[in-house]
C-alpha cells in the first residue's frame, strides 16, 4: 500500500488535471482582448463578457434556460417526492417496474430520447410550446431528484411520524411538519441537481426547441456551427461559473459526499 500510494496520488492528480485543463483554458480565453481564440499573456479584458450581455439572442436564450430549469426542477421534485415515498414505504404490484420506469432516462441516450420525444410531440401536435419543452426536461431530470429522495426517505426514522399521529396530527400535517423537513436535504439536493442538468441539457433540447424557446446551450451550439470566437469562451466561462456556484450551494446545503453516496 505504501509503495502504491505516491503512484496512485500522481495518477489521480493527472486525471483531475486532464479533466480540468479544458475548463481552465476556456476560462482564460474568455478574458482575451483579441478577436481570435487565444490565451491572454500581457493583458486581460472583459470585452467579450460585455459582448455577451449586449447580445440579445444570448440573453433571451439565457432567460429561457433559467425559466426552463426552474420549472423542470420544480415539477420533477413534485413528482419525485410522492413517488419516492411510495417506492420506499409500500409493497405493491409493479413497484420495481415503476422504479425502473422513473430511472430509465439515466440509461437511455439523450439522442434517442430527443428523437422519441420529437416524434411524440409531432404526432400530438405539441411542438413549439414552452410547456411541452418543460415536460420533456422533466422526463430527463426527474431521476436525479428521485434518487436523492429515495436515499433520504429510506434512511428516515419513522418513529417521529408515528409519534405525531399518536398525538392526533393528521396525515397532511405529519407530511408538512415532520416528513418533509426530515427529507428536505435530499429534496433540496435533488432540485439543485435537476436545475443544473436541465440548464446544461443540449442533446435532447436540440430536437424539441422552437425558434421562440431556444435555450442557451442550443444557442451556443448554433453559434458554434457558424463562427467560433472568444464570445463562445465567455459564454462557456459564465456557464462554468453558474454551475460551480450551484454545486457549492449544493455542497453547503447537503454535502456532495452524501449526494454521491445516496445516488448509488
pLDDT at 258: 53
As a whole number of angstroms, the distance between CA 40 and CA 113 comes to 40
- Is 46 contained in some domain? no
- Is 43 contained in some domain? no
Whether residue 126 is predicted with pLDDT greater than 80 in this model: the reply is no
As a whole number of angstroms, the distance between CA 193 and CA 144 comes to 6
Query: 155 CB contacts (<8 Å, ≥6 apart)?
Result: none
Please give the residue range of the domain that contains residue 96.
56-262
- Percentage of the chain modeled with pLDDT above 90: 13
- Is 39 contained in some domain? no
Please give the distance of CA 135 from its chain centroid, rounded to a whole number.
15
pLDDT, averaged across the chain: 84
Q: What is the CATH number of the domain that holds 239?
A: 1.10.3720.10
The upper half-sphere exposure of residue 7, i.e. CA atoms within 13 Å in the direction of its Cβ, equals: 4
pTM: 0.82
Mean per-residue pLDDT for 78-83?
Answer: 92
Please give the distance of CA 219 from its chain centroid, rounded to a whole number.
18
- Is 22 contained in some domain? no
Query: How many domains is the chain partitioned into structurally?
Result: 1
Residue 173: pLDDT band (50, 70, 90) is: confident
Give Cα separations from 24 to 29, 132, 170, 174 (angstroms). Answer: 9, 36, 54, 48
CB 50 within 8 A of CB 113: no
- Is 26 contained in some domain? no
Backbone torsions φ then ψ of 120, nearest 5 degrees = -65, -45
Query: 104 CB contacts (<8 Å, ≥6 apart)?
Result: 143
- Is 71 contained in some domain? yes
Give Cα separations from 71 to 36, 186, 237 (angstroms). Answer: 37, 18, 24
Amino acid at each position: 500500500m505504501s509503495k502504491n500510494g505516491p503512484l496512485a496520488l500522481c495518477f489521480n492528480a493527472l486525471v483531475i488535471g486532464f479533466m480540468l485543463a479544458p475548463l481552465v483554458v476556456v476560462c482564460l480565453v474568455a478574458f482575451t482582448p483579441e478577436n481570435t481564440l487565444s490565451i491572454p499573456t500581457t493583458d486581460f479584458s472583459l470585452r467579450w463578457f460585455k459582448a455577451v450581455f449586449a447580445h440579445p439572442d444570448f440573453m433571451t436564450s439565457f432567460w429561457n434556460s433559467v425559466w426552463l430549469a426552474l420549472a423542470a426542477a420544480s415539477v420533477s421534485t413534485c413528482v419525485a417526492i410522492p413517488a419516492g415515498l411510495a417506492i420506499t414505504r409500500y409493497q405493491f404490484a409493479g413497484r420495481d417496474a415503476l422504479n425502473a420506469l422513473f430511472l430509465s432516462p439515466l440509461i437511455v441516450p439523450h439522442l434517442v430520447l430527443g428523437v422519441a420525444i420529437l416524434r411524440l410531440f409531432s404526432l400530438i401536435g405539441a411542438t413549439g410550446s414552452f410547456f411541452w419543452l418543460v415536460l420533456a426536461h422533466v422526463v430527463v431530470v426527474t431521476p436525479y431528484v428521485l434518487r436523492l429522495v429515495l436515499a433520504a426517505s429510506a434512511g428516515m426514522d419513522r418513529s417521529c411520524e408515528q409519534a405525531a399521529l399518536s398525538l392526533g396530527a393528521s396525515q397532511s400535517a405529519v407530511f408538512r411538519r415532520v416528513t418533509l423537513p426530515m427529507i428536505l436535504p435530499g429534496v433540496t439536493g435533488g432540485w439543485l441537481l435537476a436545475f443544473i442538468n436541465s440548464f446544461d441539457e443540449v442533446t435532447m433540447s436540440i430536437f424539441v426547441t422552437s425558434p421562440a424557446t431556444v435555450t442557451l446551450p442550443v444557442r451556443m451550439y448554433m453559434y458554434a456551427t457558424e463562427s467560433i470566437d472568444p464570445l463562445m469562451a465567455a459564454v462557456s466561462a459564465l456557464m462554468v461559473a453558474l454551475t460551480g456556484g450551484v454545486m457549492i450551494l449544493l455542497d453547503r446545503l447537503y454535502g456532495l459526499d452524501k449526494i454521491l453516496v445516496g445516488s448509488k
